[in-house]
Amino acid sequence: MNQFSLKQEQRLKLTMTPELRQAIQILQYSSEELMCYLREQANENPVIDLQEYDISIDGESRENLKSKSGNTEEMLDWVAKPPDTLYEHLKSQLGLVCGLTCMQRKTALYLIGNLDEKGYLAMDALEVAGRIGVNPAEVLAMLALVQSFEPAGIAARNLEECILLQLRRSGAEVELAIAVVQRHLADLAANRLQRIADALGAGISEVQQMSDRIRRLNPFPGAAFNHNEHRYIIADITVEQSGSGKYQVRVSDTGSPQVAVNPHYRQMLRALPKQEEARQFIHDKYSTACWLIKSLEQRRQTLKRVAEAIVAVQRDFFDGCSHGLQPLTQKDIAKSTGLHESTISRAVNNKYMQTPRGLFELKYFFTSALASANGETASSESAKKRIRQLIDEEDKRKPLADQTIAETLAKEGLEISRRTVAKYREEMRCLSSAKRKRF
Average pLDDT of every residue of the chain = 82
In angstroms, the CA 380 to CA 414 distance is: 10
Residues 313, 316, 317, 318, Cα dihedral to 10°: 90
Residue 335: which pLDDT band, with cuts at 50, 70 and 90? very high
Proportion of the chain above pLDDT 90, given as a percent: 23
Are 219 and 195 in contact, with CB atoms under 8 Å apart? Answer: no
Proportion of the chain above pLDDT 70, given as a percent: 84
Residue 60: which pLDDT band, with cuts at 50, 70 and 90? very low
In angstroms, the CA 211 to CA 438 distance is: 10
Whether 79 has a pLDDT exceeding 60, the answer reads no
In angstroms, the CA 226 to CA 86 distance is: 8
Are 328 and 85 in contact, with CB atoms under 8 Å apart? Answer: no
pLDDT for residue 64 = 47
Q: Taking residues 134-142, what's their average pLDDT?
A: 91
Model pLDDT for residues 161-215, shown as the tens digit of each residue: 999 999 888 765 578 888 888 888 888 888 888 888 888 888 888 888 888 888 8
Sign of the dihedral through C-alpha 397, 403, 406, 407: negative
Please give the helix or strand (H or E) that residue 179 lies within, else none: helix 175-189
pLDDT for residue 4 = 67
Task: Indicate the pTM of the whole model.
Answer: 0.59
Residue 12: which pLDDT band, with cuts at 50, 70 and 90? low
Q: Taking residues 138-159, what's their average pLDDT?
A: 92
What size, in residues, is the chain? 439
Are 71 and 283 in contact, with CB atoms under 8 Å apart? Answer: no
Q: Taking residues 32-43, what's their average pLDDT?
A: 87
What are the respective helix, strand and coil percentages of the chain, to the nearest 5? 55, 10, 35
In angstroms, the CA 33 to CA 18 distance is: 19
Residues 6+ apart with CB under 8 A from 381: 324, 325, 367
pLDDT for residue 52 = 63
For 86-115, give one letter per residue: b (16+ CB within 10 A) or e: beebbbebbeeeeeeeeebeebbbbbbebb
CATH topology for the 87-157 domain: Arc Repressor Mutant, subunit A (1.10.10)
Residue 437: which pLDDT band, with cuts at 50, 70 and 90? confident
Query: What is the DSSP secondary-structure string of 226-271?
Result: --PPP-PPPPSEEEEE-TTSPEEEEE-STTSPEEEE-HHHHHHHHH
Pick the CATH number of 369-436 from 3.40.50.620, 3.40.50.720, 1.10.10.60, 3.40.720.10: 1.10.10.60
Residues 6+ apart with CB under 8 A from 237: 249, 250, 251, 252, 303, 304, 307, 351, 352, 353, 354, 362
What are the DSSP E strand ranges found in 1-143? 48-51
In angstroms, the CA 73 to CA 343 distance is: 50
